[in-house]
Amino acid sequence: MDDLAVSDDSSDSDSAPSSQNSSSSSSSSSSGASSSSSASGAPSPPSSSVSPAVGSASGTAPPASPHVVRPMDASGEPLPWNRTNDPLGIGFAAELLYRPPERGPGSPNVSYCVLCWDGGDLVLCDYCERAFHRDCYVGEVEDDAEGQWRCLLCSEPPRLAGPDRPRPERLLASADLLMARRLLLELYAAYYPCLYFRSRSNLELLPEWRKLKDPICLDDIKERLSHGKYTSLMDLLKALKRLMDMIRSLKKGSVGRKYLKELEEVFDSFVRDHMHEFWLQLDESSSR
């Protein structure tokens, strides 16, 4: 695994647009899976925003307050938005929103975490050049025997036994665990669609918050997965389906409903393509 070191004048780096609640710092390169570096070129916050600490020993801390990348006007100020109906200010036309570059061989380094779009101490995949905060990433960040690290987003999804095949009791099989982590990463990487639904604090900003029955967010599911609370992959899929089903409580035409529908499309597409037998069983159980 490489540590991320991007200089401000690098023509081969990509940084997210200006945003509220972000940080910027410079770094020097080091090696080893246990270390990380502070990335430069991260979005520059307006003077009124709160910047997170960077360069901490843990190398894991994304911002505590919601980090939001919003469209800016010519003066560098966020475009106005309806703060009552859209507290996070992300309900803009797609052409106004930032779109990160595609990842792959020859892609530019990025100076921000591809999951939360903020800078700070980042780790860099040696194969696709994606960068992550350790706390944002789902799973371990460890070098292989050759000192290289491949993130799950550019790894081939594992082959799974069917949902009805016997599995170890009270424990996710290794392939199931890898697939669960990969699916969560795919959902977190859908930045705008997942933003209201990634954390409890963001979820509580929705105008329909008090109408949600048994609300759940991605961070809740990630925490349960990290503590071994799911005994089967189907249990995790049902938790995610419960999140997607909150769309029934969201007002038609609302920003939250629009983005949850887009997040559900990411979820359905991945499960259908890579976990087809699970998808059929999940769809059958949902229709009962």
Cβ atoms < 10 Å from Cβ of 251: 13
Q: Closest Cα to residue 121, out of 141, 139, 104?
A: 141
Q: What is the mean pLDDT of residues 97-109?
A: 73
* Rounded mean pLDDT, 222-233: 93
Query: Measuring CA to CA, how many Å separate 255 from each of 48, 80, 152, 192, 286?
Result: 25, 15, 30, 10, 25
What pLDDT band is residue 21 in, cutting at 50, 70 and 90?
very low
User: Do the Cβ atoms of 46 and 76 come closer than 8 Å?
Assistant: yes
Q: Is the distance from CB of 16 to CB of 43 less than 8 angstroms? A: yes
Structure tokens at 165: 């095949």
Q: Which residue has the tokens 């069983």?
A: 281
Q: Which helix (H) or strand (E) holds 183?
A: helix 174-189
186 close to 160: Cβ distance less than 8 angstroms: no
Over range 239-268, report the average pLDDT.
97
- The whole-number pLDDT of residue 32 equals 39
DSSP code, position 75: T
SS3 call for 113: coil
**What one-character DSSP code corresponds to residue 78?**
B
Confidence of residue 104 (pLDDT cuts 50, 70, 90): low
Q: What is the pLDDT of residue 109?
A: 65
Q: pLDDT tens-digit profile of 193-227?
A: 999 999 999 999 999 999 998 999 999 999 999 99
pLDDT above 90 covers a percentage of the chain that reads: 52
Separation CA 264–CA 259 (nearest Å) = 9
* Per-residue confidence (pLDDT) for residue 31, from 0 to 100: 34
Per-residue pLDDT of 125-151, as tens digits, reads 988 888 999 999 999 898 877 889 999
Average pLDDT, the chain: 78
275, with CB counted inside 10 A (0-12, 13-18, 19+), is buried
Cα radius of gyration (the chain): 19
pLDDT tens figures, 265-284: 999 999 999 988 888 887 76
- Cross-strand pairs, 131: 124
Q: 27 and 148 in contact (C-beta within 8 Å)?
A: no
